Chain A
Amino acid sequence: MKIVIIDYGAGNIQSIKFAIKRLGFEAVLSSNEAEIKAADKVIFPGVGEASSAMRMLRQSKLDLLIPTLKQPVLGICLGMQLMCDKSEEGDTNGLGIFEAPVIKFNNSVKVPQIGWNQISDLSSPLFKNIKELEYVYLVHSYYVAECEQTIATSEYGVKYSTALKKDNFYGVQFHPEKSSNAGEQILKNFLEL
């Protein structure tokens, strides 16, 4: 199986590579259009700030490529947020795959949310063998509200989407590569899609 992690200069990619390696696979980093298109699975990582990440995607024309991919694609954290219509962070447009905006948590909760929260309303093969209310690790200041494409929710002041799916596109707000055994199971499920 050929697994490509999209390389656009953003994010903590090493941890994802290692997590995939612990599952017995190798992932390659690439920004090459042909290589990404030819992959069986594509992972779209992201840590950092939305508008500068979008700028980097545009510079490498990856913003045009990603929405056209046909194989399973998994956006992680900021990667998932960038797959949405638009983000309040840096007031930027996203890739428009998920039809939902990215909104900042209000001040009734501490921002960023850092730590282990529970996921529920699990409704996708991505969560095979994952129990309701499983704990995952999250670090974020912005969130996606519940929408038609929600396949998992969490609560932090509001109930929001911790995972999204549309066609072959999946997004998770949490970090599966840092979410202990549950996270590794979710990554494994994605690789088995």
Chain B
Amino acid sequence: MLTKRIIPCLDIKNGRTVKGINFVDLRDAGDPVELAAIYAASGADELVFLDISATEERRKTLANLVLKVAEKINIPFTVGGGISSVEDVDILLQNGADKVSINSSAVKDPDLINRLAAKFGSQCITVAIDAKLIDGEWIVHLVGGKVPTELNLFEWAKEVEKRGAGEILFTSMNNDGTKNGFANEALARLSTELNIPIIASGGAGNMQHFCDVFIEGKADAALAASVFHFKEIEIKDLKEELKNKGIPVRI
């Protein structure tokens, strides 16, 4: 049986992890490779690396990091942040990334999704969508949720699927950082109306939130950062809890 995935997300700047990470057993708290290896060993199903650098050498630094991660870890990982061309994706996949995630570049140039899916296959193209609930309507936002677009979440998600995305990573800006749970209603609607996997992001605070996102939110995977980085939730414990609730997980 296909299991629900638990995905820690690592924010990367200039090849280093950024968010304060509270791992006592880490020799170098800023080393993404070491952190990735710890997550892989603790039962994470997949990892996401989100690059937030803004330097000239960004592409090269990220490509080098991907190579180092692929050398060390034996679970799949996705790379996102600033990817805007077929060439960007080519080098990341060649270096060992399993999937890439695109966000703003897909909104600005929707045909990019078609070009990437045609060249590399839908299975490695994740489209990330950040959206905010405004006056009862889910509006897609760019630049980490700062800039509103005119796109409706559900319409955009359907277009993304039609253009060849293999998966959607949906972050609710209303829930992100609140630790009050995921946007289960919107997630369930996405999962029902679309026929590609949906990764839920934004709002994880406790184990119950993960149970809810898989049952009520019908999500295929759940992504979180701080609850894992600060060891508020151990992935092993989380998976035991999910299993006890009858949710299929890899243990």
A15, A48, A118: the one contacting B96 at CB < 8 Å is A15
B196 touches A110 (CB 8 A): yes
Known: A22-B74, A112-B122. A14 touches B166 (CB 8 A): no
State the Cβ distance, A126 to closest chain B Cβ, in Å.
18
Q: Which chain A residue shows the least CB distance to B5?
A: A115
Pick the contact of A115: B3, B71, B72, B195 (CB < 8 A): B3
A12 and B93 contact, CB distance less than 8 A: yes
User: 1/0 per residue A156-183: CB within 8 Å of B?
Assistant: 1000000000000000000101111101
Q: Does A107 contact B (CB under 8 A)?
A: yes
Q: Is the CB of B74 within 8 A of A110?
A: no
Contact of B5 among A12, A19, A116, A175 (CB under 8 A): A116
Q: Smallest CB–CB gap between B171 and chain A, Å?
A: 18
Shortest Cβ distance from A112 into B: residue: B123
B152 to chain A, nearest CB (A): 22
- Decide: B121 and A48 in contact? CB cutoff 8 A: yes
Does A56 reach chain B (CB closer than 8 Å)?
A: no
Contact A115 B221 (CB under 8 A): yes
Count contacts between A and B, CB distance < 8 Å.
98
Interface size range of chain A in the complex:
35 or more
In the complex, the answer to whether B123 meets A140 with C-beta atoms within 8 Å is yes
Which residues of chain A come closer than 8 Å to B121, judged between CB atoms? 47-49
In the complex, the answer to whether A183 meets B74 with C-beta atoms within 8 Å is: yes
* Chain A binding surface SS class: mixed
Interface residues of A (CB under 8 A from B): 12-15, 18-19, 21-22, 47-49, 107, 110-118, 135, 137, 139-141, 155-156, 175, 177-181, 183-184
Are A14 and B94 within 8 A (Cβ)?
yes
A18–B70 Cα distance when bound, in Å, is: 7
Q: B74 to A184, Cβ gap below 8 A?
A: yes
Q: Could you tell me if A114 and B195 are in contact, using CB atoms closer than 8 angstroms?
A: no
The CB with the most chain A CB atoms within 10 A, among B2, B4, B250, is that of B2
Pairs A-B, 10 closest by C-beta atoms:
A14-B96, A135-B250, A116-B250, A139-B123, A48-B121, A178-B76, A15-B96, A117-B2, A18-B71, A112-B123
Q: In the complex, which residues of chain A have a beta carbon less than 8 angstroms from the beta carbon of B1? A: 117-118, 155
**Nearest-Cβ distance from residue A134 to partner chain B, whole angstroms:** 10
In the bound assembly, the distance between CA atoms of A116 and B120 in angstroms comes to 21
Which B residues, 147 to 197, have Cβ-Cβ distances below 8 Å to chain A? 166-167, 195-197
CB pair B3 A135 closer than 8 Å: yes
Q: How far is the CA of A19 from the CA of B221 in the complex (A)?
A: 25
| Least Cβ–Cβ distance between A102 and chain B, in angstroms | 14
Knowing A47-B124, A111-B196 are in contact, say whether A180-B2 is a contact too (CB < 8 A).
no
User: Knowing that A141-B123, A178-B98 are A-B contacts, what are 6 other residue pairs whose CB atoms are under 8 Å apart, sorted by A's residue number?
Assistant: A18-B72, A48-B121, A114-B166, A116-B2, A116-B5, A179-B74
